[in-house]
Amino acid sequence: MAPANSALSRANSVLRAHRLPFRLRAGHNSRWVSVYENLPGRRVRERAVRGVACQDELAIEELCFRLVSEARKQPQAGLDALLPAEEESAPSLNRSSPRWPEICEVVVRFQRGQGVNMNLVGPFKGKGYFCLLPSDQPATEEDVRRFALHTSESLKARLEDPAEPLIPMATHRQGFRQKREVVSLLRRAGFGAIAPQALSEELKGLVNRKKQALVAASESRRRIPSTEAIEQWLDAVMEEDPLWGWVFAMVATYGLRPHEVWHIAELPDAHGLIAIGVAARHIKVTKTGFRVALPLPAAWVERYGLGGANGERRLEELLGRYRPRFVNEDGQPYDPERDLVMRCDNNERLGAICCHKLRSSDAKAEFELQHKLFAWVETAPAQGKRKAQRRRERCVPYDLRHAYAIRARETTSWNYADVAAVMGHSPEVHRRTYLREISGEQTKAAVVRRLLGVSSDAAVA
């Protein structure tokens, strides 16, 4: 039943995103899917759709697509008008597979209802790739696979001239990640038949092979700056731009995800603790919900004026420039008098602003900070060489979060669970992801501090 439940869940997400009063569910003691309509006065109208089996994912997706299409043509129509009664006895919906113009319209509308990352719908509107495909032929999985594996320029050239070669997409580029997200968007919009989970797993595997090759070559996937380098850089940024100096000082001092700076509920108290998010189960404005974070090193709280009047002024200024967007469970603007559930739907965009400040080909040069943060990265020895090579690379905001994790391991006696809790993830994720870049010297310092009860500096002396 898992596949059917998954198909029904995806279909209901699509119907909810289109603000339709219809929902699908497995019929009681029946093999057929039921469609129910929410009516005024908390009344419900329900009917089984014969020919759409609970185990048939493709039929469920087609039923969902038809409800969306018909509802757009007849906005005020009810269930009886959209699914005439004579179709109850029909063996199937007898509808051909959707064409790309229909799919493009539905996907754009779906993503707009979600209110997140509208850049992903580029291939579905205007002169996007899927809009240029033949409108008289059913959409296929091969169309999606071809789009995901090849460059956009070669795809459009092939449409103009079938003799033009298709150029494979470099899987380590940011553009390939966006293509994977487009495939996921198609599936979430209700088109899992042409964008199955298996295709996403295959594309993810291509990236994993690249990562595995980097690990085998001993190449660092993170650029972890030292505490001294971070402090010198923050001092320079504070001089250049006090607001962004405060933002990045918050990220570095508390190991925050970049978007979490916008959701600081309590600034540093007498012990330096801050609160992030809202302590309510139905309100989740950050990735992992409410938590309390500790400063490391604690001296940075006062050094960079993270709390007090300065902290309040900087946080207010940040919220005034870039405002979080809060929505309810249906993706509509949050109304505290009406809605119980609250989410933030533009965290990705808020985090991207921080990335653009440090390092991004998408940002304008004048938007980036003039002072860059660098870290030394070790790579495998070159052919014919015995020693590992080191190169200096620019850091991104998330490197500050990873540096916090390693600093906690090196300079404190906190255990994995403690650090994971203040950073907002599980101990297993902390060990597997955040400590994989720790060096031998840092590991030794952690052992000395935890087991011998002395600082690493004292042990060396």
Is the Cβ–Cβ distance between 234 and 252 less than 8 Å?
A: yes
Per-residue pLDDT, 423: 92
pLDDT reading at 257 higher than 90: yes
397-411 and 416-423 helices, crossing angle to 10°: 150
Specify which residues 344 forms β-bridges with: 326
Q: Who has greater pLDDT, 271 or 42? A: 271
Per-residue pLDDT, 317: 95
Q: CA 93: distance to chain centroid?
A: 36
Confidence of residue 117 (pLDDT cuts 50, 70, 90): low
pLDDT reading at 216 higher than 60: no
Per-residue pLDDT, 1: 39
Contacts of 31 (CB under 8 A, 6+ apart): 53, 54, 55
Classified as helix, coil or strand, 116 is coil
Classified as helix, coil or strand, 147 is helix
Instruction: Output the DSSP codes for 34-84.
Output: EEEEEEGGGEEEEEEEEEEETT-HHHHHHHHHHHHHHHHHSTT--HHHHS-
Rounded to whole angstroms, how far apart are CA atoms 446 and 461?
Answer: 16
Q: Is 431 exposed, middle or buried (0-12, 13-18, 19+ CB in 10 A)?
A: middle
Q: Which of 145-149, 170-174, 231-235, 335-339 has the lowest mean pLDDT?
A: 170-174
Q: List, for residues 230-249, the tens digit of each pLDDT value.
A: 999 999 999 999 999 999 99
Q: List, for residues 176-193, the tens digit of each pLDDT value.
A: 888 988 998 898 888 888
Rounded to whole angstroms, how far apart are CA atoms 22 and 430?
Answer: 42
Per-residue pLDDT, 3: 47
Nearest to 206, CA basis, from 176, 182, 178: 176
Share of the chain above pLDDT 90, in %: 26
pLDDT reading at 431 higher than 50: yes
Share of the chain above pLDDT 70, in %: 81
pTM, 2 dp = 0.59
Q: List, for residues 25-51, the tens digit of each pLDDT value.
A: 886 666 778 888 888 777 777 877 877
Classified as helix, coil or strand, 326 is strand
Mean predicted lDDT score pLDDT of the chain: 81
Would you state the structure tokens that stand for residue 30, as one six-digit string?
Answer: 């029946």
Rounded to whole angstroms, how far apart are CA atoms 234 and 174?
Answer: 28
Q: How big is the chain, counted in residues?
A: 461
Confidence of residue 307 (pLDDT cuts 50, 70, 90): very high
Q: Who has greater pLDDT, 367 or 322? A: 322
Q: Who has greater pLDDT, 174 or 156? A: 156
Given the DSSP bridges, would you call strands 389-394 and 374-379 parallel, antiparallel or unpaired? antiparallel
Read off the DSSP letter of residue 261: G
Per-residue pLDDT, 163: 86
Confidence of residue 322 (pLDDT cuts 50, 70, 90): very high
Per-residue pLDDT, 455: 53
Per-residue pLDDT, 196: 86
Q: List, for residues 73-101, the tens digit of each pLDDT value.
A: 787 777 777 776 544 433 344 445 788 98
Q: List, for residues 397-419, the tens digit of each pLDDT value.
A: 999 999 999 999 888 888 888 89
Q: Who has greater pLDDT, 278 or 380? A: 278
pLDDT reading at 125 higher than 90: no
Q: List, for residues 386-400, the tens digit of each pLDDT value.
A: 676 778 888 889 999
